Each structure stands twice: as structure tokens, then as C-alpha cells.
């Protein structure tokens, strides 16, 4: 049972969304404020002390308050504690219905969160108090508000958005923000165009994220609309780049080019297709990134040749930004596979061409000294502090042989330690894993690493030291 009421906190000052609204001038003394999901009601008290009429409703703390329309509705840090996506969206829609002029929506962002002790749940995570938290990316929150309400939100601060009832008010606020920044006319126009036409631009943004290039007229349903609004699709994307910045788009372009290069390299197995047999979108990708199919194939062949050089594979393994590096192999969590260097992606891809997708894989073992890839199953990788191996599938790229071993019924299976080493830096549970490892190091559990690789030996070590692991916490036996 999710304890939503436990998420309500006591405040010693006005919450950040309402402080932001006061600072921006969208909230004034003559306004009537409805705090939707007000918790203990501290914001209401501080607003009233400031001479602002306010009231609030909360399903746990003020369920009997009659909900009614107000000039401004504050939906502060409510949507992130609702674990059901449909109910979350309904809360947003109801708050919008009560707003006469403005809806303030605030939610916690991933960048603000310390999620080391949290457990993944639904599209968010559970805290130690068994409360739910959905941490948003800023753009994710903006897109969700717009998709749910069909209205264009304006970012007020990280994790805080305004939704204006009237577009005129929205544009007035947006333009005033540009003036305060003393922006050049061209930049100010670009920002305004982006806000006014974000729905039309979203299809273009989605396409470029997916393909890493601009579409041609046949690939975008609203190309004619963008031509009418901006003069061309290219000019429309220039507006997006000005507003969002160029670095992230350059990263997307490079990543998509790498994806395409890996695809072309692995296209040699069993035989590379002729260009006319490729989907039109893929042909356009190749043209955008390589100019010609021949150039793409030459680049792919060069990468494939590198992936067959074990010295270069060994170097790439030793330079990997994450993964557990051992003398004979690099072990990486499956979630980070596509973040590896292209040579390692192709190296592993050669094995996948042979074996197909290995369902249930948690860890991929890349041999550094011989062309072999192993897929290891740890079905409780996230939830168990030291998960046990359930299966391994080894693919030999030299002999094309595949070896499958089961460990589910093994009396003493291998286990994992130091899980944080296998995963990328932004993996949801990485901090939690690392915290446990530090505790185990301090307790002397890793004094003889060669003796603790199997489950029984590990349990015996814990017992000798009078320790027990609960979740991902190391405790003394009582």
C-alpha cells in the first residue's frame, strides 16, 4: 500500500512554486489561490500572512474542504507522488478545471533527487517510507503537461511550470521575461515562435531525436505547416536549436551516426544488402551521415576489422567508462551496452548475430584475450544485494559455437559483488549499490576476494563476522 499522506512535509517558508509566482508577478495580493493537494496547509498560512486569500484541499488532511474555482490553482509537488499514471493525469486535469487564470504545476526533477536508497516501482520509485516518487526530466514534465491538458506550459523554474488560461496572458508573460533578459530581437523572436508553435515543432523534434537528421518533405506529416510557419523545415529546426542549444543536438547526431555505423558494420553478416533494398528512411540516413552507401560500407568494414583485432578490443575494454574490468574480460550491465565504444558494440553485435537476443540477460561478459562473448542472467539484479547467476550463454566467435549453462538449481551458484561497477553512472540504483559496497569493505568482507565468489562461502563469511544483509544494508546480527 502506497502511503501518499507521508509525502506531505512541514514547511518553514512558502514553497518554491509560490515564491516563484510572487517573484514573477503572476501572483498578486488581489488573487484568490486554491492550493490543490495542500498537505498540512503551510502554504495557505503563509499566503494569508501575506494578505493573499487562499484555501486548500487535500485528500488526507483536508478532505472536507469544498473545491471551487479560483484565480490561481497551485498543484505543487502532487503529481510526483501519485503512482498511477491515469490518476496522476486526472489530478492535473481537475486542477486545471478549477483554475480561472493560471495553473502552477510543480514536480520533483531527477537532477534534484538523491535516489540512492530508493527502489524502482512503476514509472518511478519507492522510498524507505513506502511513499512513491516520480522524478521528471524538465522536458518530460513539460511534454506531459501539454499532452494531458492540450495547453502549452511555460517553464517558470526547474520543475515549475505555468499554464495560462488565456494565450494573451501567456504571451505577455513570455515577452516580459525576454525583455528582462535584454535578449537580442532575433533570439526573442525565436523563443516566442517556439512557445507559440511547440505542438507543430514537437513532431520535428521527435523525428530528429529518432533519426539524428532533418526529415525530407515526405517523412513529416506537418511539413507543409512548418513551411508555412517558418519558411522551411530547416528554418523550423534552427528555431529549436536556438531555444534548446546546440550541444545536445550534436550529441544526438553523433550517437545516431554511430548507431548507423554499427548497423552497417554488422550488415556483413550474413551478407550486406544492396542499397535499393533498404527502407527509404535508412537510405536517407546513410546519405545524411555518410554521403553514399559505398562510403558507409567502407567505414563499416573498417570498424568491423577493428572489432576482430583483439589487441584493439583489449584497449577499448580497458578504456571503457564503466563496467567491471578483470584481467580476462570486461563485464557490463545490459542497460549500458549501447554506451560502449563502437568497436565493443560491434564486437558484441557479432555474437548477437549468431545467438539472437538472449532473454533475461543482465550482464554481458566481453572477453579481452579471445573472441568470446557471454550473456549472464541475474533475474534479481536490482532487488538482491548479491544476486545469483541463473544461466550463462557463451558465444565463440572463432568457432561459432554456443554454450548454454543453467544454474537455477545449482546448490551453490556464483554470486555478484560490487554491483555498482557493472552499471553506468546514471543507473537508478547505482548509489545504493555503492553504499553497500563501502559498508562491506569497512567490515572486512572482501579481505579474501577469491573465497567469496560462491553463495555458500559468502554466507559463511557473513556469519563468522556476525553480519546480515537486509535489502542493501549491512547490519549486525541481533
Q: What does the pLDDT read at residue 288?
A: 95
Q: What does the pLDDT read at residue 178?
A: 33
Residue 28 φ then ψ, to 5°: -135, 175
Give the domain ranges of the chain.
Answer: 4-166, 185-245, 250-307, 320-419, 427-476
Q: Is the pLDDT of residue 190 over 80?
A: no
Confidence category of residue 9, pLDDT binned at 50, 70, 90: low
Q: What does the pLDDT read at residue 115?
A: 60
Q: What does the pLDDT read at residue 113?
A: 64
Q: Which of 388, 398, 395 is nearest to 419 (CA)?
A: 388
Q: What are the pLDDT digits (tens) for 395-443?
A: 899 988 788 888 998 999 999 999 999 999 989 899 999 999 999 999 9
**Highest-confidence range of 39-48, 277-286, 302-311, by mean pLDDT?**
302-311
Q: Is the pLDDT of residue 175 over 90?
A: no
Residue 218 DSSP one-character state = T
**CA 152 from centroid of its chain's CA atoms:** 23
Confidence category of residue 112, pLDDT binned at 50, 70, 90: low
Domain 4-166 bears CATH identifier 3.30.420.40: no
Q: What are the pLDDT digits (tens) for 359-376?
A: 889 999 999 999 999 999
Q: What are the pLDDT digits (tens) for 334-355?
A: 999 989 999 999 999 888 877 7
Task: For the chain, count helices (H), then strands (E).
Answer: 16, 17
Q: What does the pLDDT read at residue 7?
A: 59
Whole-prediction pTM: 0.59
The four Cα atoms 416, 420, 424, 429 give a dihedral, to 10 degrees, of 100
Amino acid at each position: 500500500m502506497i502511503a501518499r499522506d507521508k509525502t506531505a512535509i512541514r514547511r518553514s517558508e512558502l514553497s518554491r512554486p509560490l515564491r516563484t509566482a510572487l517573484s514573477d508577478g503572476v501572483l498578486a495580493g488581489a488573487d484568490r489561490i486554491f492550493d490543490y493537494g495542500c498537505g498540512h496547509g503551510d502554504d495557505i498560512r503563509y499566503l494569508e500572512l501575506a494578505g493573499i486569500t487562499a484555501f486548500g484541499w487535500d485528500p488526507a488532511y483536508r478532505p472536507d474542504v469544498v473545491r471551487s474555482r479560483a484565480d490561481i490553482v497551485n498543484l505543487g509537488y502532487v503529481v510526483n507522488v501519485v503512482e498511477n499514471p491515469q490518476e496522476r493525469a486526472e489530478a492535473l486535469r481537475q486542477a486545471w478545471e478549477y483554475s480561472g487564470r493560471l495553473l502552477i504545476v510543480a514536480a520533483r526533477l531527477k537532477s534534484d533527487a538523491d535516489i540512492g536508497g530508493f527502489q524502482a516501482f512503476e514509472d518511478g520509485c519507492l522510498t524507505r517510507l513506502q511513499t512513491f516518487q516520480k522524478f521528471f526530466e524538465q522536458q518530460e514534465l513539460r511534454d506531459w503537461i501539454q499532452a494531458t491538458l492540450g495547453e502549452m506550459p511555460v517553464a517558470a523554474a526547474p520543475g515549475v511550470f505555468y499554464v495560462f488560461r488565456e494565450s494573451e496572458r501567456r504571451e505577455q508573460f513570455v515577452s516580459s521575461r525576454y525583455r528582462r533578459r535584454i535578449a537580442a530581437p532575433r533570439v526573442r523572436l525565436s523563443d516566442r515562435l517556439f512557445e507559440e508553435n511547440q505542438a507543430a515543432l514537437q513532431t520535428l523534434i521527435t523525428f530528429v531525436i529518432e533519426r539524428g537528421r532533418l526529415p525530407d518533405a515526405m517523412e513529416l506529416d506537418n511539413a507543409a505547416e512548418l513551411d508555412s510557419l517558418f519558411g522551411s523545415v530547416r528554418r523550423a529546426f534552427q528555431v529549436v536549436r536556438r531555444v534548446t542549444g546546440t550541444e545536445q543536438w550534436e550529441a544526438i547526431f553523433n550517437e545516431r551516426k554511430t548507431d548507423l555505423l554499427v548497423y552497417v558494420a554488422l550488415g556483413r553478416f550474413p551478407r550486406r544488402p544492396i542499397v535499393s533494398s533498404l527502407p527509404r528512411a535508412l537510405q536517407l540516413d546513410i546519405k545524411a551521415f555518410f554521403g553514399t552507401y559505398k562510403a558507409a560500407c567502407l567505414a563499416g568494414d573498417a570498424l568491423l576489422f577493428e572489432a576482430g583485432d583483439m589487441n584493439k578490443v583489449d584497449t577499448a575494454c580497458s578504456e571503457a567508462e564503466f563496467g567491471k574490468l578483470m584481467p580476462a574480460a570486461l563485464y557490463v550491465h545490459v542497460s549500458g551496452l549501447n554506451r560502449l565504444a563502437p568497436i565493443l558494440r560491434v564486437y558484441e553485435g557479432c555474437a548477437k548475430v549468431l545467438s539472437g537476443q538472449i532473454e533475461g540477460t543482465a550482464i554481458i561478459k566481453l572477453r579481452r584475450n579471445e573472441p568470446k562473448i557471454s550473456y549472464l542472467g541475474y533475474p534479481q539484479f536490482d532487488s538482491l544485494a548479491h544476486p545469483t547467476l541463473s544461466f550463462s550463454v557463451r558465444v565463440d566467435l572463432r568457432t561459432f559455437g554456443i554454450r548454454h549453462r543453467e544454474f537455477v538449481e545449482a546448490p551453490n551458484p556464483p554470486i555478484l559483488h560490487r554491483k555498482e561497477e557493472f552499471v553506468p553512472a546514471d543507473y537508478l540504483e547505482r548509489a545504493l549499490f555503492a553504499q553497500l559496497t563501502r559498508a562491506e569493505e569497512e567490515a572486512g568482507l572482501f579481505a579474501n576476494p577469491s573465497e567469496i565468489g560462491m553463495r555458500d562461502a559468502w554466507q559463511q563469511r557473513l556469519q563468522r563476522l556476525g553480519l546480515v544483509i537486509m535489502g542493501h544494508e549491512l547490519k549486525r546480527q541481533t
